Amino acid sequence: MSQTDPNNKPILIRKASGDLEPFALDKLKRSLHNAGADNDSVLMIIADIEAWIYSGVTTKQIYSRAFKILRREKAHTAMRYRLKEAIFSLGPTGYPFEQFIGQLFEKQGYATEVGVVVDGYSVTHEMDVIATKNQIQYLVECKYHKDQGKQVSVQVPLYVRSRVNDIVRKREKMEEYRALSFEGWVVTNTRFSPDSIQYGEVNGLHLLAWDYPQNKGLKYLVEELKLYPITILHKLTKKDKDLLMSLGTVTCMQVLNNLDLLNPLQLNKKKQMALVEELKSICR
């Protein structure tokens, strides 16, 4: 449901891309609930935003205000609400994002490979993620951007479709792959252009973005699987997080399941105990 100002005109907010759209109260409510906020907290935050919001305000300003209130009310719930920022902090290179996407598939029962060079019929290709389960193999291209307003243009699914076709043409002739069928994916931490979505739908490419497909996007998967990136943690410094990511540790669940991964950080006992409590509160 869209909100209106005192003159009964729709309140328009500015997205990261610069476009204006009506403010949808239900979308904010869903975000707060997905972050684990209870009903009382949601109602309190919504009342504050409704009294404050005005046409032309940016989504970032709304996010910052809601997050500030949420942090005051529920410190750990606020961390989950910071998920989008945490995903963007997986940079500056794209490799931690590729590892993170590999972890998402692995959590769903897929056997995964990350950053592998494979032979195509014509040339070799580097695939960001290969995920295999139930005789289906996904060939996944990851597109990480630091700019939240960046859209993945149609050129990306075009060349991914071509690369996937070349790999499939080669693998269909190889004995070890005869029992498999193959499907291509493009995954991004931002958004797809309308042309990209249309091309993907028509040409059999799976597309996964922050909020696409609707109610099944990257945000939904992360929250459903409780597979949060380590960049969401407050108890680690940026230097600590960068070191862990350089060693292949990209999710809170990885650390919680194997505390030895923290050894390179040389944390004292008090800091490690506080970190473990934070990890438990996020992953539970």
Q: Tell me the average pLDDT across 172-179.
A: 93
Tally of domains in the chain: 3
Residue 4 in domain: no
157 within domain boundaries: yes
Domain membership of residue 279 as a residue range:
228-283
- Taking 60 as the threshold, does the pLDDT of residue 1 lie above it? no
Same domain as 97, residue 210:
yes
Residues 6+ apart with CB under 8 A from 264: 243, 244, 247
- For residue 143, give the amino acid letter: K
102 lies in the same domain as 219: yes
Shared domain for 221 and 232, answered yes or no, is no
Q: What percent of the chain has pLDDT over 70?
A: 94
Q: What is the pLDDT of residue 27?
A: 86
**According to the model, what pLDDT value does residue 68 have?**
84
For residue 180, what are the contacts with CB-CB under 8 A and spacing of at least 6? 132, 135, 136, 137, 171
Report how far residue 118's alpha carbon sits from residue 113's, in angstroms, rounded to the nearest whole number.
11
Bridging pattern class, strands 181-188 and 136-143: parallel
Across the chain, mean pLDDT equals 91
Q: In which band, very low, low, confident or very high, does the pLDDT at 3 lie, cut at 50, 70 and 90? A: low
Range of lowest pLDDT (64-78, 84-98, 192-206)? 64-78
Cβ neighbours for 266, distance < 8 A, ≥ 6 positions apart: none
Per-residue pLDDT tens for 8-42? 678 899 988 889 999 888 888 988 888 878 888 89
> Which phi and psi (to 5°) does residue 101 adopt?
-65, -40
The reported pTM is 0.74
Highest-scoring range by mean pLDDT, 11-20, 38-47, 128-137: 128-137
Confidence of residue 154 (pLDDT cuts 50, 70, 90): very high
* Residue 2 included in any domain: no
End residue of a domain, out of 61, 81, 101: 81
Q: In this model, does residue 72 exceed pLDDT 90?
A: no
- Tell whether the model's pLDDT for residue 150 goes beyond 70: yes
Q: For residue 214, which of 19, 14, 6, 27 has the smallest C-alpha distance?
A: 27
> Distance between CA 49 and CA 29 in Å, rounded?
11
Asked if residue 241 and residue 140 are part of one domain, the reply reads no
